[in-house]
Structure 1
Amino acid sequence: MSITKTAGKELQRRNIRNEIIRRGENGESFLLYMETVFEFHYKKTYVRTWWDEQLAQALMDVFHGVIDRLVVSMPPRHGKTERVVRMFGSYIQGLRSSLKIQYGTYSGTLSVLTAVDTKDIMESEIYREIFPEVAFNPKLNLKEHWKLTAGGEFLATSVGGSNTGIGADIFFGDDLLKAADADSKARRDEAYNFYNSSVLTRLEGLKAVILIMQRLHEDDPAGRVIKLGGLAEHGGLWHELRYPIINEKREVYKYRNTQVIREPFTPLDPVRYGLDFIEQQKKEMSKVEFKRQYMQDAEVSEAGHFKREDFVYVSDADLPEMYRYILVDPAESEEASADDRGIPVVGKWTDASEIVKTVVLDGKYGKWDVYGTAEQIISLMLKYPDAPVLIEGAGGGLSLVKVLRREMLVYNAKAQAQGKPQVSNGITVFKPDNQSSKNEGIKLMTAPMEHHTLVFYKFMDTAFMEQMEKEFLKFNPERKSNTDNIIDPISKSYILPQCTAKKNLPLKPEQVQRRKKKGKNGGWSKI
């Protein structure tokens, strides 16, 4: 093949590539742009990670006006500034050179350096090849503040800096809080006040905000805006992509109608920061800092409403006869995708004191779709054949009931053929309580926990027990959204009229003697 034909084919390939990039249709267009800049400007090969496509699509959704609030949290040195500011910022000003961007971080120096890098990309040969019509306005062409001839603008500022009188279609907030200042309320307030007074009042056009950061505190800028505005999945403002450096269990990362599955122990960036690096960081950092900065878990482990000392665990010898219930809080939507779910088994009774006592006997916790949930319920039905199943009729509850009844028929047919026990537990669908919030229901368990009339069976499923304890200890009634996949259905045993207690059962002589010796609070033994 002649040199002329080879050059012609290469030119054709580049023209096709550039045309796809210029269309800017979706996340794939952006990733192609990023790979091209890496190849021809950085002289490096861009290696995609397992989450790149999801992040790229979310960013392009901001550009296209599909969403206008996005939080991206990931560990240090994992390329969040590179992807979101240098690459995405330069890309969208090429797609729409009238776009106005403001970029802020906790440090004025860092803001300027990132702006210089972004401008360097836009002045590169490959950028001019892709976007030949983009030109800088000579009247304002500074390293931290420039305008384009088509009206676009880029301003780099910082917390405490000035952006008076300058509007923005999109604001990039990149680590508005310094890690060393995370525990300072004054610094957290300063960062949020900058966002609230200097950013929100300057938005125009797209009126979009993208916050990228490592989580540092539950009240850091990302935590505070989510607390006030809520998450989109719960009807709020903010879409959140949270990527910890490692995972111990199989996890599903959802964004709008897409999801990414992450198998256990998959590093966020396996090429640059593998398992050896992660283990080294664990050894050298404090547990709190590693949890915050690398695992993106800024929540306090104990909020103080439910106290660790009020957990009382009991054994079979401590339990009388009781009525038992399997409580199911279905997924909030009718989608078939897997979701976090908890299915507790609760027992209730009264003794001569006429005080209702409750024990959490067992349960299941995990990520299941509707069929997986039905399978878990059936396993509990077999274990507790006298326990009716109570399912809330909200969200995907009715769909779950249909699937559960069908799966029971399938199971019973197989059990009959094999001579095994069949499931015959009753199923009741209860109406959701639209008058009270979940938090109000969960708070009903406060007094029973303190007085030890709500206790826990020490031999329940281990994974369920661990998650249940975490949810109780983290619960904060002042937060709009708590992790309550287990404790919310447990609280239904204090609300539903169907959850009655077995009454006035006489205690066995040996139980009476044991409780007299143990004394206060009904004699429950703490473990």
Structure 2
Amino acid sequence: MSIPSATADAMLGMLDAAQHADALTPGQIATLIDPRTVQTPALDLIDAELDRLLATPDGRLGISMPPQEGKTTRVVRDFVIRALERNPDTRVVAGAYNQSLANRNGLMIRRAISSVPQLGLAISRDNGSKHEWELEGHRGGVLSVGRGAGVDGRPADMIVIDDPVSRTEADSELARDDCWDWWTESLSARLAPGAPVVVIMTRWHEDDLIGRLVERDTHAGWRIVNIPAQCEDPATDPLGRQAGEYMISARRNRDGTPRTREQWESRKRTVGSRVWSAMYQGHPSPAEGGLLKRDWWKRYFTPLWTTRDDGSCWAIGFDELLISADLAFKGTTTSDYVAIGVWGRRVNDAYLLDQVREQLDFVGTLHHLVALCAKWPQATLKLVEDKANGPALISMLAKRIVGIVPINPTAGKVQRAEAWAPLAESGHVWLPSDEIAPWVGDYIEELAGFPNAAHDDQVDQTSMALDRMILRPLLDEGREIDATDDYDDYRIGY
């Protein structure tokens, strides 16, 4: 590949600067190898974390990030070359979920070194297979191994693990156990004193290698960096983004422009809530769900209300309706969500009819609550959690909306959800179909990920509604849930 003179001059400038510094950054090495490299803020962050890792004795780093954003090439190729350039005697073990992927990674590193002689590295002529090779004149090099492959007798001055479990294996406990045994019994035993380790992966399961390292390898001081596709909380976002802002993608359109917000939104709709949460946001949850299982929810497929000309909705055949509001504004656009649900009850069955879930400021929250109350006039009871921003809202609306009741929960979030979970498990909680409510997939996903998901606002509004509608009346009356109750004996008109 011919390199334009201006690009070549820039490369020589980087090499000259590197001679007066510690070494080239992984990003600079990437540009030397391929001048078309797109350096994004996410890759800037990864570069900084990799340099921190090299400077930390016995450093341990885990990176999760959406697919096709350059993380594998940056870590497996550019960072390994960075380490070899810094110390050509570094013996690197590069692992992957199978030998084929490991071989490909090893060959990628080797070809890159051969393509950029300016780095001053050369592959040994008598040791040059794609999965195992050394540098000319040095003991350093790369051994590429698939998961489960033995590395007995092979010392490691650095270990790089790229996607140790494939997508098809992610839900297999046997595969996850095999991966863990590979790390604990084989790879980690080969580490030299002070050797760094980096694990990069797209997360599919909460019990994957990164999940187990955080839970079980607590003494090692693992630093976990998750870069979500979309900012969830500006206060903790690793890229310093605003709420809801998508990452600048390394993937480009044909005209060289980065992926647009509309393209990100399309991708989000295509993959669905569970895949988006795990693969793109780095928040995996069990396939069946955690405390609240995915297959517990009953679904209704036709609207249970009529809509009048003025836009108001009137529920048909319900004993009562209420609005449950979990509020989390801060006066400006907040990192947390406001969740306001409209619920109806038929004897011992609860139906989620409508919901607003957005990141809102104080004024926006007031507007949406007032609008929802007008839309559902039968919901005369409005439950508002009396903490955080709840008191401010209650004070503001006390004379404008009737039926606002402050709720002061005394139990923790998990304990409250555990109390109503049997209602969902036994088929007494109904959700609208995706055709009726496009937001219901995100609702189910948040509840399935609870209590480990990034947000729990929809769980909280659900807890308030079901406690007031179902649990308290049952406890007060000493009744058991009876699925044979005749709804017609209890319904009210509209």
Is TM more than 0.5 here? yes
**Corresponding residue for residue 115 of structure 1:** 106
**Corresponding residue for residue 156 of structure 1:** 144
**Corresponding residue for residue 179 of structure 2:** 191
Compute the RMSD of aligned alpha carbons. 5.8
**Corresponding residue for residue 205 of structure 2:** 218
Classify the secondary structure of the residue corresponding to 2:382.
coil
**Corresponding residue for residue 310 of structure 2:** none
1:69-98 deviations in whole A, cap 9, x for unaligned?
31334436x544321111111113323556
Structure 1 contact 323–387 (Cα < 8 Å) conserved: yes
- The structural deviation recorded for 1:202 is 3.4
Structure 2 contact 93–156 (Cα < 8 Å) conserved: yes
Structure 2 contact 72–162 (Cα < 8 Å) conserved: yes
**Corresponding residue for residue 419 of structure 2:** 444
**Corresponding residue for residue 344 of structure 1:** 340
Counterparts of 1:418-433 in structure 2, within 5 Å, are 433=412
**Corresponding residue for residue 389 of structure 1:** 384
Give the Cα separation in 1 of the matches to 2:245 and 2:461: 28
**Corresponding residue for residue 62 of structure 1:** 53
1:334-382 deviations in whole A, cap 9, x for unaligned?
999853535234669998xxx7x7665644323x3xxx34344323443
Distance 1:242 1:265, change over 3 A: closer
**Corresponding residue for residue 47 of structure 1:** 38
Counterparts of 1:117-132 in structure 2, within 5 Å, are 117-122=108-113, 124-128=116-120
Give the Cα separation in 2 of the matches to 1:378 and 1:212: 43
Q: What is the identity, as a one-letter code, of the residue corresponding to 1:62?
A: L
Give the Cα separation in 2 of the matches to 1:70 and 1:99: 20
- The structural deviation recorded for 1:103 is 0.5
Structure 2 contact 253–259 (Cα < 8 Å) conserved: no
- The structural deviation recorded for 1:104 is 0.8
Residue of 443, 453, 466 corresponding to 1:468: 443
- The structural deviation recorded for 1:288 is 12
Distance 1:12 1:223, change over 3 A: closer
**Corresponding residue for residue 224 of structure 2:** 238
Classify the secondary structure of the residue corresponding to 1:173.
strand
Give the Cα separation in 2 of the matches to 1:488 and 1:327: 6
Q: What is the identity, as a one-letter code, of the residue corresponding to 1:103?
A: A
**Corresponding residue for residue 377 of structure 1:** 365
**Corresponding residue for residue 37 of structure 1:** 33
Give the Cα separation in 1 of the matches to 2:295 and 2:66: 31
Structure 2 contact 343–352 (Cα < 8 Å) conserved: yes
Q: What is the identity, as a one-letter code, of the residue corresponding to 2:462?
A: I
Q: TM-score, normalised by structure 2?
A: 0.64
**Corresponding residue for residue 259 of structure 1:** 240
- The structural deviation recorded for 1:168 is 3.8
Give the Cα separation in 2 of the matches to 1:213 and 1:17: 32
**Corresponding residue for residue 160 of structure 2:** 172
Classify the secondary structure of the residue corresponding to 2:337.
strand
Distance 1:292 1:252, change over 3 A: closer
- The structural deviation recorded for 1:17 is 3.7
Q: What is the identity, as a one-letter code, of the residue corresponding to 1:69?
A: L
Structure 2 contact 386–407 (Cα < 8 Å) conserved: yes
Distance 1:345 1:154, change over 3 A: same
**Corresponding residue for residue 97 of structure 2:** 106
**Corresponding residue for residue 364 of structure 1:** 356
**Corresponding residue for residue 507 of structure 1:** none
Q: What is the identity, as a one-letter code, of the residue corresponding to 2:384?
A: V
Give the Cα separation in 1 of the matches to 2:127 and 2:362: 63
Q: What is the identity, as a one-letter code, of the residue corresponding to 1:270?
A: R
Structure 1 contact 70–211 (Cα < 8 Å) conserved: yes
- The structural deviation recorded for 1:159 is 1.6
- State yes or no: 1:18 paired with 2:18: yes
Give the Cα separation in 2 of the matches to 1:219 and 1:14: 41
How many residue pairs get aligned? The number is: 441
- State yes or no: 1:91 paired with 2:82: yes
Classify the secondary structure of the residue corresponding to 1:157.
strand
> Percent of counterpart pairs with the same letter?
13
Give the Cα separation in 1 of the matches to 2:105 and 2:22: 24
Give the Cα separation in 1 of the matches to 2:10 and 2:246: 42
Distance 1:266 1:19, change over 3 A: closer
1:380-429 deviations in whole A, cap 9, x for unaligned?
4434496353155xxxx4xx56xx84x999x89xxxxxxx9589967677
